[in-house]
């Protein structure tokens, strides 16, 4: 197994992998087309919350990490891992980043190198889409001349317990020799490696994990709407159900789903099913529909709550707690909180947002990012908890805010209403 690694894409997935590989003894080049990111990386200025500046600085000091925006910077690598984005365009998978990464990489391939795709994508991408690109651009063939496989990434930004190293890693190859190479590579990076028999199984595994989460969140979201109308506390029912030691997994309602995974990945799966089989993946469609409506539902509930207090939304001061899409992280991509903020502002509310994890420039235009101190909390007509960051002082929130609409059940009291 060679020692030289190229990681294509230095984002939430690629940068932690690069840092862990440096720690494991590899010589690593991080390739990213975003020159501003490359500049920051080479100045040990991290933009990924889970990677501290000091970790980057230490990687530079080891002499075994550098970032570059030119693929030629990758030099003669032994292993290359691709971690570029896989967005949706008009509801369909958009593989253009994998495509351009594959085309740029192909001329650098030499016999015996290993290429692994980590980007989340539909089953068949590695073999049917990436392999031909690499073969055409290199004049080499796989299997035979180089090794190729897929390994889904399970990184959970902001999760203090489960990181890259202690989360089991599913690995696959297009043939037995590729699987063996890829397994040996990841065995140096993570504690447990889980080999599967094909790249399609590994690709589907990732989509199954995220679709499972998406569908179950939709289930409790819809249940929360009906339970509230029935006058039943859904949160208490969830707590009670969670005491069952088997056959139940806890999910809680919220203002919708955000980030790169849940709103996007299940649609990669439903697109593949529709295209290959002509069938609708009804679970995914239903879950999309329910979760997409949650920001609007939160706005509706807030309007009703203010109405009960004799206040119109227009002109009311609303302080939103949390802009990021998940707790204890600063990622705002596709965040339902941003959707809520925009909708409230459009309806004439005076909206402010507090989020200790988010840089001010990420706030939607016209919406001020403030600190959730005593004054902001007490002067708001309504405080809305959207993201349950531990760094908010919930005791203060419930003590000084006139009214709290809490979508994450972090607060209690007579001035608090739950989603």
Beta carbon nearer to ligand NAD, 9 or 255: 9
CA dist 15 → 30, 48, 53, 68 (Å): 8, 8, 12, 13
Beta carbon nearer to ligand NAD, 32 or 339: 32
CA-closest candidate to residue 371, choices 388, 392, 390, 387: 392
CA-to-CA distance for 326 and 258, rounded, in angstroms? Answer: 8
CA-closest candidate to residue 97, choices 9, 18, 205: 9
With beta carbons less than 8 A apart as the criterion, state whether 337 and 255 touch: yes
Beta carbon nearer to ligand NAD, 97 or 409: 97
CA-to-CA distance for 264 and 272, rounded, in angstroms? Answer: 13
411 annotated active-site:
no
- Tell me the two tokens of residue 413: 């009291």
DSSP annotation of 381 reads S
Taking phi over 0 as left and psi of -120 to 50 as alpha, with beta for the rest, 90 belongs to left
Q: How far is the CB of 348 from ligand NAD (least distance, A)?
A: 34
Beta carbon nearer to ligand NAD, 34 or 285: 34
Chain residues in the site for ligand NAD (CB under 6 A)? 8-14, 31-34, 37, 83-86, 97, 100-101, 119-120, 153, 155, 157, 260-261
Backbone angles phi, psi at 413, to 5 degrees: 135, 170
How many beta carbons lie within 10 A of that of residue 92, not counting itself?
Answer: 12
Pairing of strands 350-354, 169-173: unpaired
Under DSSP, is residue 150 helix (H, G, I), strand (E, B) or coil?
strand
Q: How far is the CB of 96 from ligand NAD (least distance, A)?
A: 8
Tell me the residue nearest to ligand NAD as measured from the CB: 11
Residue from 80, 205, 261, 411 carrying the catalytic annotation: 261
Beta carbon nearer to ligand NAD, 47 or 237: 47
CA-to-CA distance for 82 and 69, rounded, in angstroms? Answer: 14
Q: How far is the CB of 17 from ligand NAD (least distance, A)?
A: 9
Q: How far is the CB of 82 from ligand NAD (least distance, A)?
A: 8
Q: How far is the CB of 48 from ligand NAD (least distance, A)?
A: 7
Active site residues: 261
């Amino acid at each position: 197994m060679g020692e030289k690694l190229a990681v294509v894409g230095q984002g939430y997935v690629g940068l932690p992998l690069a840092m862990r590989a440096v720690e494991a003894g590899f010589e690593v080049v991080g390739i990213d087309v975003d020159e501003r990111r490359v500049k920051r990386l080479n100045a040990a200025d991290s933009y990924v919350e889970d990677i501290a500046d000091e970790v980057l600085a230490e990687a530079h000091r080891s002499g075994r990490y550098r970032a570059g925006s030119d693929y030629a910077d990758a030099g003669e690598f032994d292993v290359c891992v691709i971690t570029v984005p896989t967005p949706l365009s008009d509801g369909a998978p958009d593989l253009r980043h994998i495509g351009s990464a594959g085309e740029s990489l192909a001329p650098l391939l030499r016999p015996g190198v290993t290429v692994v795709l980590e980007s989340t994508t539909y089953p068949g991408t590695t073999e049917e889409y990436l392999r031909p690109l690499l073969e055409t651009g290199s004049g080499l063939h796989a299997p035979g001349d180089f090794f190729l496989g897929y390994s889904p990434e399970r990184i959970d930004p902001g999760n203090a317990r489960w990181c890259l190293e202690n989360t089991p890693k599913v690995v696959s190859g297009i043939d037995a020799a590729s699987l063996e190479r890829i397994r040996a590579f990841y065995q140096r990076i993570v504690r447990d490696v889980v080999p599967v028999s094909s790249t399609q199984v590994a690709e589907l595994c990732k989509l199954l994990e995220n679709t499972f989460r998406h569908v179950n969140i939709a289930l409790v979201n819809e249940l929360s709407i009906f339970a509230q109308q029935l006058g039943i506390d859904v949160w208490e029912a969830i707590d009670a159900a969670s005491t069952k030691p088997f056959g139940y997994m806890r999910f809680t309602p919220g203002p919708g789903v955000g980030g790169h995974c849940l709103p996007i990945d299940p649609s990669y799966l439903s697109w593949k099913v529709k295209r290959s089989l002509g069938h609708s993946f009804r679970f995914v469609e239903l879950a999309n529909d329910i979760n997409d409506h949650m920001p609007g539902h939160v706005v509706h509930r807030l309007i009703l709550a203010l109405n009960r207090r004799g206040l119109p939304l227009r002109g009311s001061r609303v302080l939103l707690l949390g802009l990021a899409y998940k707790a204890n992280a600063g990622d705002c991509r596709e965040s339902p909180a941003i959707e809520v903020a925009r909708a409230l502002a459009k309806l004439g509310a005076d909206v402010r947002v507090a989020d200790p994890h988010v840089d001010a420039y990420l706030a939607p235009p016209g919406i001020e990012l403030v600190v959730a101190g005593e004054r902001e909390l007490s002067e708001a007509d309504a405080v809305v908890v959207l993201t349950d960051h531990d760094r908010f002082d919930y005791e203060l929130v419930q003590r000084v805010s006139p009214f709290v609409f809490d979508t994450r059940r972090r607060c209690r009291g007579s001035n608090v209403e739950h989603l």
